[in-house]
């Protein structure tokens, strides 16, 4: 018993605990427990969607970030609308909308798909969400009402993109491809990716040309709007979880901290200092700079310089 009392006395003599480190950590916008799930940029800000009910916004090309709490939310996808405003899809069946400067986030409820996986804006500013059971929801009034197209397949749509006012394309598991040529009024199957391909993400640069990344580092390329697909060489060997344009060139980020750029018909690694063996869940171009931003688990968020091809 005396030894216990002595220990308490010594602890008391030590004065107050130094909480400065904990206070400094709490003040940081990016926490060690954060998981960056989505990233997007416009000409004003970069936005990172987090798993833990918040977004991070940078207005100085990723040098500094501010944190905005959303409440119960998990932003798994982000996109930019034609007016520069920002749109995010929430795993908990909501769509979040913000101004072009990444402020004033507001949520709209979504009933279907039951698990939303991807979000897009069309050229008129209409909102599109797709996900499980090949269901596609559209809102022309910023989430006040939704019209749902059910394509009747037990499959997940993982990416949906509009290329122009009329043409949109959706890629789904089991190699399924669906297109619209009338602005989303009707969707129909088109072609099909080989070997029941599971797509992680899709990047379309025109009605005809697009890229889809998938399991085991596979990347497919189409030059006829999804009718036929050809495998491209991915020299990194890493699965690419997000595809996007940077300096006019297709880029991807993925497993093992990989950053890849398309060089001719081959995806090659982009070297950068101090790489970490942690996956990048998402990435986006830093507009106006030869750089991109990538993020993942454990509070990982990095701006990475890229070089011209």
Q: State the DSSP string of 44-105.
A: S-EEEEESSSEEEEESSTTSS-EEEE-SS--EEEEEE-TTS-EEEEETTTEEEEE-TTS---
Q: How far apart are CA 181 and CA 204, in angstroms?
A: 15
Q: Which tens digit of pLDDT belongs to each residue from 228-255?
A: 999 999 999 999 999 999 999 999 999 9
pLDDT of residue 24: 44
Q: Which tens digit of pLDDT belongs to each residue from 70-98?
A: 999 999 999 999 999 999 999 999 999 99
What's this model's pTM, rounded to 2 decimal places?
0.90
Q: State the DSSP string of 111-153.
A: -SSSSEEEEEE-TT--EEEEEGGGEEEEESSTTSS-EEEE---
Q: How far apart are CA 242 and CA 275, in angstroms?
A: 18
Mean pLDDT, residues 260-268 taken together? 97
Mean pLDDT, residues 220-228 taken together? 96
| Lookup result for tokens 């063996």 | 277
pLDDT of residue 272: 95
Mean pLDDT, residues 205-223 taken together? 97
Q: What is the CA radius of gyration of the chain?
A: 22
Q: What is the pLDDT confidence band of residue 13, given thresholds at 50, 70 and 90?
A: very low
Residue 39 has pLDDT above 70, yes or no: yes
Residue 287 has pLDDT above 80, yes or no: yes
Residue 21 has pLDDT above 90, yes or no: no
pLDDT of residue 224: 96
Q: What is the pLDDT confidence band of residue 26, given thresholds at 50, 70 and 90?
A: low
């Amino acid at each position: 018993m005396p030894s216990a009392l002595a220990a308490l006395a010594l602890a008391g003599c030590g004065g107050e605990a130094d909480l400065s480190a904990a206070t400094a950590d709490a003040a940081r916008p990016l926490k060690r427990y954060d998981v960056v799930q989505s990233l997007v940029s416009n000409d004003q800000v970069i936005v990172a969607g987090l798993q833990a009910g918040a977004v991070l916004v940078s207005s100085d090309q990723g040098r500094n970030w501010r944190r905005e709490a959303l409440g119960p939310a998990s932003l798994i996808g982000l996109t930019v609308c034609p007016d520069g405003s920002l749109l995010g899809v929430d795993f908990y069946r909501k769509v979040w909308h913000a101004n072009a400067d990444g402020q004033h986030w507001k949520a709209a409820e979504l009933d279907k798909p039951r698990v939303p996986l991807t979000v897009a804006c069309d050229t008129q500013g209409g909102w599109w969400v797709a996900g499980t059971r090949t269901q596609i929801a559209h809102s022309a009034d910023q989430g006040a009402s939704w019209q749902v197209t059910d394509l009747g397949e037990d499959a997940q749509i993982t990416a949906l993109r509009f290329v122009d006012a009329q043409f949109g394309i959706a890629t789904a598991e089991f190699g399924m491809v669906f297109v619209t040529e009338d602005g989303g009024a009707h969707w129909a199957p088109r072609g099909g990716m080989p070997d029941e391909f599971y797509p992680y993400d899709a990047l379309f640069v025109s009605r005809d040309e697009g890229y889809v990344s998938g399991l085991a580092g596979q990347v497919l390329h189409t030059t006829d709007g999804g009718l036929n697909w050809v495998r491209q060489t991915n020299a990194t060997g890493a699965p690419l979880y997000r595809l996007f344009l940077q300096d006019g060139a297709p880029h991807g980020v993925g497993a093992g901290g990989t950053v890849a750029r398309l060089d001719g018909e081959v995806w090659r690694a982009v070297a950068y200092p101090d790489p970490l063996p942690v996956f990048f869940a998402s990435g986006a171009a830093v507009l106006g700079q030869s750089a991109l931003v990538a993020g993942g688990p454990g509070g990982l968020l990095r701006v990475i310089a890229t070089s011209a091809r």
